[in-house]
Structure 1
Amino acid sequence: MSVNFHELIEGFHNFKESYLLKEHEFFDRLAHGQSPKTLVIACCDSRADPAILMGCRPGDLFVVRSIAALVPGADHAGDPDAVLAAVEYGVKHLDVDHIIVMGHSNCGGIHGALFPKKS
């Protein structure tokens, strides 16, 4: 169930025509800033989209995705890491109230970590 590049472009045009124009006031408000109250750290898996699974609209969640929803430990706090940077931004600048780490079953990232391929 893969989408080719042209279908992605067509999907964006459909979004603009059927959703963006109908909800223009909502998106105008979002254009001025975001204030989500929940940060979600989720797996990169294309089948597990937090916004869809939780029934959220644009602006409801601040989402960072990493392989297997992994979060580096506190001993890596000085390292440049996108997940830690997103968490810090969500907490310090967006003032999120909740942080959810959302894993899922049959995660390829976890499987790959537990059973690495032989080189």
Structure 2
Amino acid sequence: MEDKLIEILETFGYPVIRQGAMLEDEEYPDDFFTFWNNDSYNLNHYDNKEKTTAYDFDVNFYSCSPSRTYKKITDAIKLLKSNGFIINGRGHDVASDEASHTGRGINVIGIMEV
């Protein structure tokens, strides 16, 4: 599921980075996505076997352009929903370690048959 999420986000042409994976002295790209897998859990069981698993991700977009921050997270919501992901809401602000960047985040759920 993580590979599918990354593949979809990469279609925007921006780097997709695991949250917290940038080195301390590494410069932020002008625009980029981050993701973090919060949890995964089984949803359905039949005949003592799990049948579906839900993957819970945080997806964030950071940009040096505040308007692009809002636009791209909205675009990501539309694209992820069209690819079967569940997104509740329109996003939320996320802190940035760089004063030059703003961030918006969404919670993304992907369900996969086992």
TM-score between both structures, scaled by the size of structure 1: 0.29
Higher relative contact order (CA 8 A, sep 6+): 1
Report the TM-score when normalising by structure 2.
0.30
Larger radius of gyration: 1
